[in-house]
Amino acid sequence: MNIHEYQAKQIFAKYNIPTPKGIMVESVNAAVTAAEELGGPIWVVKAQIHAGGRGLGGGVKLAKSLDEVEELANEILGMTLVTHQTTAEGKLVQKLYIEDGADIKDELYLSVVLDRKSEMPLIMASTEGGMDIETVAENTPEKIITVPVDPTIGFQGFHGRELVFGLGITDKIEQKNMIKFAEKLYRLYMENDAEMIEINPLVKTGKGVFLALDGKMGFDNSALGRQPEIAAMRDYTEEDADEVEAAKYGLSYVALDGEIGCMVNGAGLAMGTMDTINYMGGTPANFLDVGGSANAETVAKGFEIILKNPNVKAIFVNIFGGIVRCDRIANGIIEATKITDVNVPVIVRLDGTNAPEASEILKNANIANLIVGDDLGDGAAKAVAAAKGA
Amino acid sequence: MSILVNKDTKVIVQGFTGKEGSFHAEQCIDYGTQIVGGVTPNKGGQVHLGKPVFNTVSDAVKTTGATVSMIFVPPAFVGDAVMEAAEAGIELAVIITEGAPVKDMQMAKAYATKHGMKTLGPNCPGIITAEECKIGIMPGMIFKKGNVGLISKSGTLTYEGTNQVVQAGYGITTAVGIGGDPIIGLSYNQLLPMFEADPDTECIVMIGEIGGDLEIQAAKLIKEQVTKPVVAFIAGQTAPKGKTMGHAGAIVSGSAGTAAEKMAALEAAGVKVVVSPAEIGKAVKEVLS
């Protein structure tokens, strides 16, 4: 789960991680009032959406007067922001963050992420702040410093020293400031079950103070149950509505841009099904994992979500029944086609426990549009053919 | 022969009396697995499914001599359960539970390693040595005994792959589901050498997916240490970037962790890579004949 910059900065404040002062607003009037309260003389008007690259997309701008704040707030609020991290349609800006302009001497990069290789949190830093870090990693990997922190010992002095010497910070007060900054950031990461915290840029002011000018945070969904304050920051309007709806029913859904709707049990087989459709010359319209215990209700919901997509020309239901018996799933599919108006061909492949009985049930049900696939390859081929014929 | 577990393996179940634990423990007992007891705090002394219940793993191990624990406790308690098993001298913890916080797994795995305990999972279907011992939630009846070892991140692809191997006229020595979380226990690089050393395993099927670089590391190891033929499938060639595909660990971050990258590495290591899981059976037949 991701949060907005203004929320990340609220969390920074709790940990005494320095940030410029700012106020989140949802209207132009409130933006001007906020700017007055902050005092100026320079403000930054920032679009609040869950995506990086806002500056380049025109969602972050500098104002030198209250009139300019008003003008920019007017311009950015309600705009659809397209960045390299959004879809081509972009994201609607519904919130702004009005922030004090900072006295910037240097721009750095600092993040904490989970390193899957070492299975530890990894502190990453670079002197190339304000740039897309993936580009830096690609072109000048030597400019990225990585410091893994073993969570069983936590952040130690040596971690801090590796960081500041790696960044080439020589002033002793600045060294101390940076080490404290990183230590707090690590503590925040661990205590809140964060998955990723990125500050880009982290700026050094003329006084040698380090400030988090930006803040991006993502959290481990599996830990939200014990992080109620974080969970409360969730902004559903930033997420795909169909994915959110699917999740309510225990379905894991991701929309794609193809023509064949997929309904599969298990994430691996669901991806494998998409790959097989692609291999057979078709295009998958979605990823959909109905979970281990597919039943009539979840299957019906799956049909409903898949059919919302107007590009869908056929649906491939691919279930490998393990503990769940296929005959029960077959009945579930029949029930589901009664509840939902399924107006495209549905190819069903059921394998595993009681698969022959399931095939019989489906064949005897005499449902128009329902085609039985014998195995994964056969089912996918029939789905591709059906989509082309439709 | 087989790897890690066989008909003599003594197994306890943590979260024994819960709904999931009970259902699957019973299925395992029916399969022939030596479930020798289980652990549910405050239910020590009771008998469940005909087996003794203990308050702690330590009590269970002392009384039953179990070396493997199958863990079904709710996600928030998985870390604790794994560490308890490690402390009590369990040799292998098979963690079935889905949705354990990643931080807990970092801590638990580090502690398990310190105590020399192997872990499998979390969020995995478990491990099965065909016709001998099933520790997990897989449908036992599809696992016919044979000469193919299988390692998979995905549960249903384990079944799909196994089914095809059997349809092709072969069978399974041991099938291991390693799970699709960002942090998992035993993985390809620990399991491949075990299959390489197992005299009954003549071919290895390896099923991976997008995210992380375990498959890339496996490619290196295969090139250097594995002489037996390996068939591989990587799920998620058509997955979009930056989206979590069901499994918490299945995500392409930037340009890292793509299926294409993993498939190329495996192919370069001499692995027979298939582009669809529907081709696994055929590929196994090809490399074995």
Structural domain ending residue among the three candidates B120, B147, B171: B120
Measure CB to CB from residue B107 to each of A152, A221, A352 and give the nearest one. Answer: A152
pTM of the model: 0.91
User: How far off is chain A from B45, nearest CA to CA, in Å?
Assistant: 30
Across B14-23, average pLDDT: 94
**Given this structure, which CATH class describes domain A103-239?**
alpha beta
Q: Does B209 contact chain A (CB < 8 Å)?
A: yes
Measure CB to CB from residue A268 to each of B110, B156, B254 and give the nearest one. Answer: B156
Burial class (CB in 10 A: 0-12, 13-18, 19+), B287: middle
Look up residue A364 and give its two tokens: 């005897």
Q: Has residue B5 been placed in a domain?
A: no
Which residues of chain A are within 8 Å of residue B156 when distances are taken between CB atoms?
A: 264-266, 268-269, 320, 322
Indicate if the pLDDT at residue B254 is higher than 70: no
Measure CB to CB from residue B154 to each of A138, A266, A323 and give the nearest one. Answer: A266
Residues of chain A within CATH 3.30.1490.20 domain(s) are: 20-101
CA distance A368 to A381: 19
Query: Before B75, cis peptide (omega within 30)?
Result: no
User: How far off is chain B from A348, nearest CA to CA, in Å?
Assistant: 15
Q: B63 and B181: one domain?
A: no
Look up residue A139 and give its two tokens: 């072109």
**Cα angle for residues A341, A330, A241 (degrees, 5° grid):** 45
Q: Has residue B125 been placed in a domain?
A: no
Q: B260 and B225: one domain?
A: yes
Look up residue A122 and give its two tokens: 């990894």
- Sign of the C-alpha dihedral, residues B142, B174, A272, B165? negative
The pLDDT of residue A292 is 65
Q: B208 and B161: one domain?
A: yes
Across A364-387, average pLDDT: 91
What ipTM was reported for this prediction? 0.90
User: How far off is chain B from A71, nearest CA to CA, in Å?
Assistant: 34
Indicate if the pLDDT at residue B244 is higher than 60: yes
Q: Has residue B270 been placed in a domain?
A: yes
Across A143-148, average pLDDT: 94
CA A26 to chain centre: 23
Mutate to test the interface with B, among A242, A251, A269 (most CBs of B within 10 A): A269
Q: Determine the angle formed by the axes of helices B78-87 and B102-114, rounding to 10 degrees.
A: 0
Indicate if the pLDDT at residue A323 is higher than 70: no
Q: B17 and B115: one domain?
A: yes
Residue B36's domain comprises 10-120
Indicate if the pLDDT at residue A135 is higher than 80: yes
Structure confidence by residue, pLDDT tens digits, B137-158: 999 999 999 999 999 999 999 9
SS3 of chain A: the string is CEECHHHHHHHHHHCCCCCCCEEEECCHHHHHHHHHHHCCCCEEEEECCCCCCCCCCCCEEEECCHHHHHHHHHHHCCCEECCCCCCCCCEECCCEEEEECCCEEEEEEEEEEEECCCCEEEEEEECCCCCCHHHHHHHCHHHEEEEECCCCCCCCHHHHHHHHHHCCCCCHHHHHHHHHHHHHHHHHHHHCCEEEEEEEEEEEECCCCEEECCCEEEECHHHHHHCHHHHCCCCHHHCCHHHHHHHHCCCEEEECCCCEEEEECCHHHHHHHHHHHHHCCCCECEEEECCCCCCHHHHHHHHHHHHCCCCCCEEEEEEEECCCCHHHHHHHHHHHHHHCCCCCCEEEEEEECCHHHHHHHHHHHCCCCEEECCCHHHHHHHHHHHHHHC
| Contact between A115 and A122 (Cβ < 8 Å) | yes
Q: Has residue B159 been placed in a domain?
A: yes
Place of tokens 């599809």: B142
User: How far off is chain B from A274, nearest CA to CA, in Å?
Assistant: 6
User: How far off is chain B from A254, nearest CA to CA, in Å?
Assistant: 7
Structure confidence by residue, pLDDT tens digits, A243-276: 888 888 889 999 999 999 999 988 999 999 999 9
Look up residue A353 and give its two tokens: 């426990």
Q: B177 and B101: one domain?
A: no
CA distance A201 to A222: 29
Are A322 and B247 within 8 A, CB to CB? no
Are A152 and B99 within 8 A, CB to CB? no
What residue of A is the nearest CA neighbor of B100? A222
Q: B45 and B154: one domain?
A: no
β-bridge partners, B70: B13, B94
Q: How far is CA A281 from CA A163, A380, B273, in A?
A: 50, 10, 19
The pLDDT of residue A133 is 83
Q: A229-238 burial by CB neighbour count: b if 16+ within 10 A, else e?
A: ebeebebeeb
What residue of B is the nearest CA neighbor of A377? B278
Across B20-45, average pLDDT: 96
Domain containing residue B209: CATH number: 3.40.50.261
- Choosing from A5, A97, A99, A109, the catalytic residue is A109
User: What type of residue sits at position A64?
Assistant: K
User: How far off is chain B from A24, nearest CA to CA, in Å?
Assistant: 27
Q: Does A278 contact chain B (CB < 8 Å)?
A: yes
Are B160 and A272 within 8 A, CB to CB? yes
Q: Are strands A104-115 and A194-205 parallel, antiparallel or unpaired?
A: antiparallel
Q: B234 and B203: one domain?
A: yes
Q: B252 and B163: one domain?
A: yes
Q: B112 and B180: one domain?
A: no
The pLDDT of residue A364 is 87
Specify whether A198 is catalytic.
yes
| Contact between A60 and A45 (Cβ < 8 Å) | yes
Residue B18 pLDDT grade (very low, low, confident, very high; cuts 50, 70, 90): very high
Structural domain ending residue among the three candidates B69, B93, B120: B120
Are A320 and B153 within 8 A, CB to CB? no
Q: B57 and B162: one domain?
A: no
What residue of B is the nearest CA neighbor of A381? B278
Across A295-314, average pLDDT: 88
| Contact between A337 and A303 (Cβ < 8 Å) | yes
Measure CB to CB from residue B180 to each of A150, A267, A278 and give the nearest one. Answer: A267
Across A83-93, average pLDDT: 84
Q: How far is CA B91 from CA B67, B84, B122, B149, in A?
A: 5, 12, 16, 21
Indicate if the pLDDT at residue A390 is higher than 80: no
Structure confidence by residue, pLDDT tens digits, B73-121: 999 999 999 999 999 999 999 999 999 999 999 999 999 999 999 999 9
Residue A136 pLDDT grade (very low, low, confident, very high; cuts 50, 70, 90): confident
Measure CB to CB from residue A267 to each of B183, B247, B259 and give the nearest one. Answer: B247
CA distance B219 to B155: 22
The pLDDT of residue A250 is 85
Calculate what percentage of chain A has a pLDDT beyond 70: 98
Neighbours of A194 (CB within 10 A): 27
Q: Does B76 contact chain A (CB < 8 Å)?
A: yes
Structural domain ending residue among the three candidates B58, B91, B120: B120
- In this predicted model, which residue has the larger pLDDT, B41 or A298? B41
Domain containing residue B100: CATH number: 3.40.50.720
Mean pLDDT taken over chain B: 95
Measure CB to CB from residue B207 to each of A268, A276, A320 and give the nearest one. Answer: A268
Q: Determine the angle formed by the axes of helices A376-389 and A267-279, rounding to 10 degrees.
A: 60
SS3 of chain B: the string is CCCCCCCCCEEEEECCCCHHHHHHHHHHHHHCCEEEEEECCCCCCCEECCEEEECCHHHHHHHHCCCEEEECCCHHHHHHHHHHHHHCCCCEEEECCCCCCHHHHHHHHHHHHHCCCEEECCCCCEEEECCCEEEECCCHHHCCEEEEEEEECCHHHHHHHHHHHHHCCCCEEEEEECCCCCCCCCCHHHHHHHHHHCCCCCEEEEEEECCCCHHHHHHHHHHHHCCCCEEEEEECCCCCCCCCCCCCCCCCECCECCHHHHHHHHHHCCCEEECCHHHHHHHHHHHHC
| Contact between A306 and A339 (Cβ < 8 Å) | no
Residues of chain A within CATH 3.30.470.20 domain(s) are: 103-239
Q: Does B19 contact chain A (CB < 8 Å)?
A: no
Residues of chain A within CATH 3.40.50.261 domain(s) are: 241-389
Q: Has residue B180 been placed in a domain?
A: yes
Q: B112 and B145: one domain?
A: no
Q: Has residue B131 been placed in a domain?
A: no
Q: How many domains does chain B contain in total?
A: 2
Residues 220-249 of B with CB under 8 A from A: 233, 235-240, 242-243, 245-249
Neighbours of A84 (CB within 10 A): 11
Are B183 and A119 within 8 A, CB to CB? yes
CATH of the domain spanning A241-389, picked from 3.40.50.720, 3.40.50.261, 3.40.718.10, 3.30.230.10:
3.40.50.261
Q: B142 and B260: one domain?
A: yes
- The hierarchical CATH code for the domain A20-101 is 3.30.1490.20
Q: Has residue B2 been placed in a domain?
A: no
CA distance A330 to B256: 39
